Amino acid sequence: MSAVLPPVLDSDRELLARVLDCYKPHCRYLASFAVSQEEGVLRGAGVLEIPESCYIDDTGHLNSVEVNICYNQMLYQVIATAVRDGIGPVFDTWTMADFWRRRLPDVLITRFSSVFRRPIDPRSFHGEFALDSVRQRRLRPDADPLVSLETSFRCWDEAGGACSGTAQVTIVGS
């Protein structure tokens, strides 16, 4: 049976540090992040900080490349929390060793869409992530199962900057 999270959890800084350790130090944008479960949907919310772009001169605003990196970090933290706390329907069967082994080679963003409504100051902004649905299926009876995730996110800053988007993620392998 799957565990049920309380409505709001404190940000787990140790888990977050471990989740972000696969990123170059100057690309660890997720400063704090708390995960919760509401009506069966896993959600996360936190603060992101990008002191300097990892690939381009300062544009003065958050761009699509950096929002994709932010999305990835929020995704990994939500999955890691689900695995740690035994939250199903799929992640309740994984161990933390499974997560660490699978997070880079097996987690594929298969569709990503973002819409920017107003420029966001990348130096300090907020992000929210929702794991809207989780499905597991087999392409063939003898194949390893694929896990399909439908997700959504949004980012904003104190000056009214805003973006939002959706992404489909497929977890392959076993």
Residue 58's pLDDT is: 78
Tell me what percent of the residues of the chain surpass a pLDDT of 90: 75
Mean pLDDT to the nearest integer, 120-135: 96
CB atoms within 10 A of CB 112: 17
Among 10-14, 154-158, 160-164, whose mean pLDDT is lowest?
Answer: 10-14
Residue 11's pLDDT is: 65
**How would residue 174 be classed by pLDDT, with cut points 50, 70 and 90?**
low
Q: Which amino acid is at 30?
A: L
| Whole-number Å distance between alpha carbons of 171 and 103 | 9
Residue 107's pLDDT is: 96
Mean pLDDT to the nearest integer, 26-52: 93
Please, what are the domains in the chain? 13-171 (3.10.129.30)
**How would residue 6 be classed by pLDDT, with cut points 50, 70 and 90?**
very low
Closest C-alpha among 157, 167, 166 to residue 61: 157
| Whole-number Å distance between alpha carbons of 106 and 101 | 9
| Whole-number Å distance between alpha carbons of 32 and 160 | 21
Among 37-41, 56-60, 121-125, whose mean pLDDT is lowest?
Answer: 56-60
Mean pLDDT to the nearest integer, 54-76: 92
Give me the phi and psi of 24, to 5 degrees please.
-60, 145
Give this prediction's pTM: 0.92
CB atoms within 10 A of CB 74: 28
